[in-house]
């Protein structure tokens, strides 16, 4: 299975080095020298990481296939994909891949169904769970105070029903596993 691990940014210098907007919690693994990544575009191009370095809080990567600034700049904005084991998860038990969260039923800590996680948005300040209910979407900050539990085996995420976060009238009184929405 392939997952997005980054997005190519501006070229840096004249030798094909490029900035990468990291979209993985494991950049040391995904951007290690020798790692092979695929472009998320119609082009059947794979890129092999030749070297990486940090420069002013940005990851700079040199790929073996990009020999100059023009080649690097031509791929600006393209997402990078890495092949991962479909059943693998991060080493830290409190971290999750997006693909593990999408499809889980979101329930309040009282058991009321909120909806289904349909996306994880990665914003500069924090990650958000996009939870689709029958008639709307909820954007729930993915922080322990608001999402105290993730149970992959049960297929659920627990959500604190704090005032203003959820529309209480939209919550379903369905305590079965997975439930509606």
Q: Return the bridge partners of 121, or none.
A: 128
Domain, as residue range, for 8: 2-83
Q: Are the C-beta atoms of residues 40 and 3 closer than 8 Å to each other?
A: no
Q: Given strand 149-151, what is the order of strands in its sheet?
A: 137-141, 127-132, 113-122, 105-108, 156-159, 149-151
| Spatial separation of the C-alpha atoms in residues 69 and 50, rounded to whole Å | 15
Q: What is the pLDDT of residue 142?
A: 94
Q: How many domains does the chain have?
A: 2
pLDDT classification of 180: cutoffs 50, 70, 90? very low
Domain boundary among 83, 106, 132: 83
- Which contiguous run of DSSP H or E holds residue 160? none
- Dump pLDDT digits (tens) for 121-176: 888 788 899 999 988 899 999 999 999 999 999 999 999 988 888 866 555 555 55
Residue 138 and residue 74 share a domain:
no
Buried b (16+ CB within 10 A) or exposed e, 49-81: beebeeeeeebbbbbeebeebeebeebeebbbb
49 in a structural domain: yes
What pLDDT sits at residue 18?
96
Q: Are residues 35 and 106 in the same domain?
A: no
CATH of the domain at 32: 2.40.30.60
Alpha helices in 19-146, H assignment, sequence order: 27-30, 69-73, 98-101
User: Quick one: 79 and 107 in the same domain?
Assistant: no
């Amino acid at each position: 299975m392939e997952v997005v691990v980054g997005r190519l940014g501006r070229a840096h210098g004249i030798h094909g080095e490029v900035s990468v907007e990291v979209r993985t919690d494991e950049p040391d693994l995904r951007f290690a020298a020798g790692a092979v990544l695929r472009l998320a575009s119609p082009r059947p191009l794979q890129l092999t990481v030749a070297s990486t370095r940090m420069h002013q809080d940005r990851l700079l990567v040199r790929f073996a296939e990009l020999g100059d600034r023009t080649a690097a700049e031509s791929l600006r904005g393209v997402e990078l994909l890495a092949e991962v084991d479909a059943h693998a998860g991060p080493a830290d038990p409190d971290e999750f891949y997006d693909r593990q969260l999408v499809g889980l039923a979101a329930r309040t800590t009282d058991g009321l169904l909120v909806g289904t996680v349909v996306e994880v948005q990665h914003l500069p300040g924090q990650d958000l769970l996009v939870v689709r209910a029958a008639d709307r979407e909820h954007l729930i900050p993915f922080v322990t105070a608001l999402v105290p539990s993730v149970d992959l085996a049960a297929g659920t995420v627990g959500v604190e029903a704090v005032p203003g976060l959820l529309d209480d009238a939209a919550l379903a009184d369905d305590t079965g596993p997975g439930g509606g929405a």
